[in-house]
């Protein structure tokens, strides 16, 4: 009997300890820290972007360089595909490309996903060919995320910010009728949405657009595979 009581005395504290111990916190991925904001004043309305310099330092520095130079002022959103993305940042109102700085290295493997409202670097077949062009995801385009460095297709597209105000304006751009115009066979919004100015929130307005150092190169994003009814290009 004494042995049974002693055993119970040892068991009770252990049971209480197990009940009061706090569970270990689940591992979570911290969101990017708040970064600089850029206001795109467009002919359709204002769009405010928040950038992620901690996750995509090269892409953000590149984008801000163009903003500070006034490069984006007078450029257009030349591509709009409902249910996919809108793209701009290089072509003027008459769909002539501006000269850009040299391309930057891709940061698509930064862990950020191409979700609705995120902003990513547009590029050509070479993952490291992004310059001034960017696109805004209209839906969760996870298939545009980094999947490996085997090829340009698996490399994905580098997210460097997100729309924090004006996503309704982006949706209005996406809803415009489209046509073929200039060098593009299709998907050109009509009328063309113009970026009248781009500025960093809290900073003075940039100087007028200046000539950059390298010729512009074609940049694009793979179109949705059929069933969306559009061919790649």
Q: Write out pLDDT tens, residues 32-88.
A: 567 999 999 999 999 999 999 999 999 999 999 999 999 999 999 999 999 999 999
Q: Are 127 and 108 in contact (CB under 8 A)?
A: yes
Distance, in Å, from the CA atom of 183 to the CA atom of 95, rounded to the nearest integer, reads: 8
Rounded to two decimals, the pTM is 0.78
Q: How does pLDDT run across 111-169, given as a tens digit for each residue?
A: 999 999 999 999 999 999 999 999 999 999 999 999 988 888 889 999 999 999 999 99
H helices of 39-108, where?
A: 57-69
**Which pairs from 29-35 meet CB under 8 Å and 24+ separation?**
29/111, 32/112, 35/60, 35/161
């Amino acid at each position: 009997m004494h042995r049974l009581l002693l055993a119970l005395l040892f068991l009770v504290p252990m049971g209480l300890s197990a009940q009061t111990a706090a569970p270990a916190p689940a591992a979570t991925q911290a969101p990017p820290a708040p970064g600089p904001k850029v206001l795109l004043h467009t002919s359709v309305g204002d769009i405010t972007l928040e950038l992620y310099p901690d996750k995509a330092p090269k892409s953000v520095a590149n984008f801000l360089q163009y903003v500070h130079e006034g490069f984006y002022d007078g450029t257009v959103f030349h591509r709009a595909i409902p249910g996919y993305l809108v793209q701009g940042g290089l072509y003027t109102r008459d769909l002539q490309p501006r000269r850009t700085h040299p391309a930057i290295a891709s940061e698509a493997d930064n862990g950020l996903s191409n979700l609705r409202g995120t902003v990513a670097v547009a590029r050509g077949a070479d993952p490291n060919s992004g310059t001034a062009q960017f696109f805004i995801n209209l839906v969760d385009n996870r298939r545009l995320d980094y999947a490996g460095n085997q090829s340009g297709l698996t490399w994905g597209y580098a997210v460097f910010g997100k729309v924090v105000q004006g996503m309704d304006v982006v949706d209005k751009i996406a809803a415009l009728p489209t046509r073929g115009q200039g060098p593009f066979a299709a998907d050109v919004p009509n009328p063309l949405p113009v970026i009248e100015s781009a500025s960093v929130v809290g900073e003075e307005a940039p100087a007028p657009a200046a000539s950059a150092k390298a010729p512009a190169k074609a940049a694009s994003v793979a179109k949705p595979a059929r069933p969306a009814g559009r061919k790649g290009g």
